[in-house]
Amino acid sequence: MADKKIGTVVYRRNLSPVLAIFRLVPEEEMAFPLYRAGQYIALRRENCRLTKRVVRSDGSIVYVPDLDEKGKQKRGPVSHSYSIASAPFETQLQRYLEFYVILHLDDKGQPGRFTESLFQMNPDGDNAITYFFKIAGDFTLEKHAAGFSSVVMVGTGSGLAPFASMMKQLNYEALQGKRSNVRYTLIHGNRGYQELGYHDELVAIEASEKFDFVYVPTISRPSRDGHDHLTVGKGRANNVLRYIVGMPCKEEEDLQSEMASGADTAHAKASLGRLVRPVLPHHISREAIRERIQPGNTIIITCGNPEGMADIKHIADGQGIHFDMEEW
């Protein structure tokens, strides 16, 4: 087990009630371990709601509140690992790690034990986080994208974090004279414009043209008046990728599959009725992006919610494109 240290949150930016960017500085007179873009670190909060594992009579496992003798839920330490959203050069120069974190809510609307405590933090008050003095993981470009001339990254929600780190680091290295011949395409989907973390930085990196990079932000809950920012596309990230490669939206495909099997189509029809059809940002053409995603020399790598990643794998397999994903 790695040594535990006490860090301090010195910056927090709320993108929405359930999404924020945090900056953590290390224990006094220390530095964080060196790392590569795409890696993660384990964090711990000391005052989280505790649960216990219960095996039901049918063998299924559930987690229920761990109560004390007075019937009050116990509190104690809970750990969680997070991909690092800052780039290695930022950590070396400015001594912080940055995290792009969503407040996890279960199907009953109950917040996750760790993220609930994290979102209760205030840089001016309750600002201590325990971190483990080890940065780990092999979800790096060196490990997963070596040998490919085109790399397509698809981040859903806070799954953008490792890709933000990668692109910021590549841009920094390009500014230092280290050029890359690889073409990078980043598709990031979130609910609304304000939740597109690192949007301005990624737009600036793309505009600088220091390396071959195309950024495709998209939102799944566009405004009703249609006055969304023109640099942002519409639709879920997986459906945007489907549109680019010429596949129907997942909801359409699911409905066709259920109709063919004779299954009940009510759920699929309801999902199709809520579909936000994919639209690319106004300055990006479908043909130009499609040309960057050629079988043979392209790999699609993804990070985010499991359902979205599973569909992105389905898309890649259907197109004969190499695929990889973040797995801890």
Q: pLDDT (tens digit, 9 = 90+) per residue, 112-132?
A: 999 999 999 888 888 999 999
Every domain of the chain and the residues it spans:
4-136, 141-325
Residue 223's pLDDT is: 80
Alpha helix segments (H runs only) across 246-300? 250-261, 266-273, 286-291
Least confident of 103-107, 151-155, 224-228: 224-228
Per-residue confidence band for 110, with pLDDT thresholds at 50, 70 and 90 = confident
The CA radius of gyration of the chain, in Å to the nearest whole number, is 21
User: Does residue 107 register a pLDDT over 80?
Assistant: no
CATH code of 4-136, in short, is: 2.40.30.10
- Alpha-carbon distance of 319 to 259, in angstroms, equals 24
Residue 108's pLDDT is: 79
Alpha helix segments (H runs only) across the chain? 88-94, 113-119, 141-144, 161-175, 199-208, 237-245, 250-261, 266-273, 286-291, 306-319
Residue 1's pLDDT is: 58
Per-residue confidence band for 105, with pLDDT thresholds at 50, 70 and 90 = confident
Residue 124's pLDDT is: 86
% of the chain exceeding 70 in pLDDT? 98
- Any idea which residue has 């116990």 for tokens? 74
pLDDT digits (tens, 9 = 90+) for 203-221: 999 999 999 999 999 999 9
Residue 125's pLDDT is: 86
- Alpha-carbon distance of 303 to 8, in angstroms, equals 27
Fold of 141-325: Rossmann fold (3.40.50)
Cβ-proximal residues to 313 (8 Å cutoff; 6+ apart), any chain: 302, 323, 325
% of the chain exceeding 90 in pLDDT? 88
Residue 269's pLDDT is: 94
pLDDT digits (tens, 9 = 90+) for 21-71: 999 999 998 999 999 999 999 999 999 999 999 999 999 998 899 999 999
User: Does residue 160 register a pLDDT over 60?
Assistant: yes
Per-residue confidence band for 177, with pLDDT thresholds at 50, 70 and 90 = very high
- Alpha-carbon distance of 18 to 142, in angstroms, equals 32
Are the C-beta atoms of 165 and 155 separated by less than 8 Å? no
User: Does residue 328 register a pLDDT over 70?
Assistant: no
For range 278-293, the mean pLDDT: 95
Residue 225's pLDDT is: 64
Residue 123's pLDDT is: 87
Least confident of 75-84, 106-115, 218-227: 218-227
